[in-house]
A and B are shown apart, each in its own frame.
Chain A
Amino acid sequence: MTNDEIRMTIRSSRPATPACVQARVVKRKLLAPDVVSVWLRVPEIARVIQPGQFVQVKASSSDEPFLRRPFSVAQQRRDGIRVIFRVVGQGTALLAAARPGDEWNILGPLGRPAPLVRNRNVIIIGGGIGIAPLLFLAERLCRQNRVHVLLGAQNRQELILLPEFRRLGVKLSLATDDGSLGNEGFVTDTLQTVICGLRSAIAPVVFACGPRPMLRKARKLTQGLESYAFWEERMGCGTGICYGCAVKRADGQGYLRFCQEGPVLKMSDIEI
């Protein structure tokens, strides 16, 4: 940690403590096999949360599982937020069983918001479950920017949130590994085509979220451009106090805490 970062931590220390609040499950839906969407009524968080920020959810009222589960936010309305997650273990399995009326203990909002750019060419690229937080971002950016959304997944079934993105009226390009929807191949292949076509025009700003290989490729393709990665990985506290979530800095100066400096990180700042 350099002096500047310490100063940044001190400056960015939130005056108001992000609160643990009770959120009520309003709606639960299966979007794809093992991919769950939950709408929560939680006005305290809904009113202030920004694209890129996340919440930490307690999966039970006991100490098992011990840690909270970090979820990005896919949509926000006046009184509620929508989280979308894949069932990968014990905690997410417990949460996936939620029913309307259930209460979740939630900590948030956490992390720094994504930069809300204006009057730009925006490219949003998402893969798999990484598509979820990009919907919230696209909703915020689509009116004041020219937004092109590229979505990829293994197959048609796994390509989530398509109706929501279509409703935004943004330019949409799709890719699936098996070709069951959109182009056959990786969504980063589409990115390459899009970027080549744009180079002559105003430099775009790129936001990416998805599996590590996708981010790695996106970082390569967007070198020299303003580009951001939404970093999703296991973490401890989510609030910056445990130093448990580390992402390697590109300048060799150690690590960033992605719950605090991120989860939206400049691609040029990190090693992927």
Chain B
Amino acid sequence: MTRSGNPKSEIRNPKSESRTSSSGFRVSLGGVIFQNPILLASGTFGFGLEFPKVVRRMGGIVSKGITPRPRAGNPPPRIWEVPHGIINSVGLENPGVEDFVQTVLPAMRFGRARVLVNVAGDTVEEYAEVVRRIDSEPVAGFELNVSCPNVRAGGVAFGRNPKLVARIVKAARRATRKLLVTKLTANFVDPALTARAAEDAGSDAVSLINTVMAQAFDARGRPALGGGTGGLSGPAIKPFALYCVQRAAQAVRIPVIGGGGITSGRDVREFLLAGARMVQIGSVNLVDPCAGIRILEEFRGRSESRQSGPDRLGQESRNQ
């Protein structure tokens, strides 16, 4: 699939598709080149404005989820700590696409680090609406968050239904020629099925696994989170995430962005071994806002100390 570049869009280089640069740790995804394979996961680093120096070092940042209209988010408590992780129920608090474009996005300048906008909505049309509004802005691409409840489909999360995933991807695809990543859920669905649906519908890549649906109670026996239930993340979900990423990577030809409980360079490598081309780090950012830099350095150190060097990593990460 060739696409003419939008004048404002970032440079795409189709020739470098499916290659990890031998001169460093650059990776290419749908024609967009990232300086390294580590992304800051949506919702775990805000809009990057608190720590721009950290963002600059990363492959890129995925913004908080943007919806057509502002969302206040869920009542507190929004975070509940559990063994080796957290359950969150932030509820997509965001300023809405208009304020995002007018006020936030102009400040999101992070040098060579790419900006992806995470897109969410209540309906298929809302996803396309947000993508359309941002398409002419200087962002590298979009990540479709298909794990929000869909009222029209009777409360079933979009991401559990391959047909709905396909419809959302198609609608978004019509709205942009930029990099389109579909962020899949692993809740009550085989990610191989939804990954294939996203691929067939024109997604350039898939990312997974987002959080794992979870329930917690406080000491008094009430639901611990203001939103009632939440999503589990952190090292607690890493083995499950690795499994899901491997499964998705074996099912599709498009690149996979893996994530779930990464806290070290070694973890990054494991996700690449599972078939991911890039990774997302999330919960660890809450513990240390500079974790991305540490993880990158650990990953580089590990890779360089191996005989075969970074090239081999690139081969490992390919799905073909």
Chain A residues packing against B (C-beta within 8 Å):
1-3, 6-7, 9-10, 13-14, 17-20, 58, 63-68, 107, 233-237, 239-248, 253-255, 260
User: Does B266 have its Cβ within 8 Å of any Cβ on chain A?
Assistant: no
Please list the 9 inter-chain residue pairs (A to B) with the smallest Cβ-Cβ separation, ordered nearest first: A254-B72, A244-B79, A237-B286, A241-B46, A236-B79, A246-B76, A6-B103, A1-B95, A244-B78
B268 to chain A, nearest CB (A): 15
A70 vs B281: C-alpha distance when bound (angstroms) = 22
Beta-carbon contact of A14 and B50 below 8 Å:
yes
User: Does B313 have its Cβ within 8 Å of any Cβ on chain A?
Assistant: no
- Among B81-89, B119-127, B162-170, the one that faces the other chain is B81-89
Q: Enumerate B48-87 residues with CB–CB distance to A below 8 Å.
A: 49-54, 64, 70, 72-79, 81-86
Beta-carbon contact of A235 and B95 below 8 Å:
no
Query: Which residues does chain A contribute within 8 Å of B286, judged by CB atoms?
Result: 67, 236-237, 241-242, 244
A246 vs B227: C-alpha distance when bound (angstroms) = 12
Q: Enumerate B286-312 residues with CB–CB distance to A below 8 Å.
A: 286-290
Beta-carbon contact of B84 and A254 below 8 Å:
no
Beta-carbon contact of A17 and B76 below 8 Å:
no
Q: Indicate which residue in B72, B74, B76, B94 contacts A245 across the interface (CB closer than 8 Å).
A: B76
Beta-carbon contact of B75 and A246 below 8 Å:
yes
User: Does B104 have its Cβ within 8 Å of any Cβ on chain A?
Assistant: yes
A242 vs B54: C-alpha distance when bound (angstroms) = 15
Additional pairs, 13, CB under 8 Å, beyond known A17-B53, A68-B287: A1-B70, A3-B99, A6-B95, A13-B49, A20-B288, A63-B263, A67-B81, A239-B289, A241-B46, A241-B285, A241-B289, A244-B78, A255-B76
Q: Indicate which residue in A14, A63, A245, A247 contacts B84 across the interface (CB closer than 8 Å).
A: A63
Size category of the B interface is: 35 or more
Closest Cβ neighbor of B94 among chain A residues: A1
Query: Which residues does chain B contribute within 8 Å of A1, judged by CB atoms?
Result: 70, 93-95, 99
Beta-carbon contact of B104 and A13 below 8 Å:
no
Interface of A is mostly: loop
Query: Which residues does chain B contribute within 8 Å of A235, judged by CB atoms?
Result: 79
Query: Which residues does chain B contribute within 8 Å of A6, judged by CB atoms?
Result: 95, 99, 103-104
Q: Indicate which residue in B52, B73, B85 contacts A66 across the interface (CB closer than 8 Å).
A: B85
Q: Indicate which residue in A14, A63, A236, A243 contacts B93 across the interface (CB closer than 8 Å).
A: A243
Query: Which residues does chain B contribute within 8 Å of A19, judged by CB atoms?
Result: 290
A3 vs B289: C-alpha distance when bound (angstroms) = 25
Query: Which residues does chain B contribute within 8 Å of A246, judged by CB atoms?
Result: 73-76, 78, 93, 226
A64 vs B99: C-alpha distance when bound (angstroms) = 38
Query: Which residues does chain B contribute within 8 Å of A242, judged by CB atoms?
Result: 43-44, 46, 79, 88, 90, 285-286
Beta-carbon contact of A66 and B234 below 8 Å:
yes
Closest Cβ neighbor of B263 among chain A residues: A63
Give 20 pairs: A residue, B residue, CB < 8 Å, sorted on A.
Answer: A1-B93, A6-B104, A17-B53, A63-B234, A66-B83, A66-B287, A67-B79, A234-B77, A242-B46, A243-B64, A243-B78, A244-B88, A245-B76, A245-B78, A245-B79, A246-B75, A246-B76, A246-B226, A255-B72, A255-B76
A240 to chain B, nearest CB (A): 5
With A6-B103, A63-B235, A66-B86 known as contacts, the answer to whether A241 contacts B78 (CB < 8 A) is no
Beta-carbon contact of B49 and A9 below 8 Å:
yes
Query: Which residues does chain B contribute within 8 Å of A18, judged by CB atoms?
Result: 289
Q: Indicate which residue in B50, B76, B94, B283 contacts A247 across the interface (CB closer than 8 Å).
A: B76
User: Does B214 have its Cβ within 8 Å of any Cβ on chain A?
Assistant: no
User: Does B153 have its Cβ within 8 Å of any Cβ on chain A?
Assistant: no
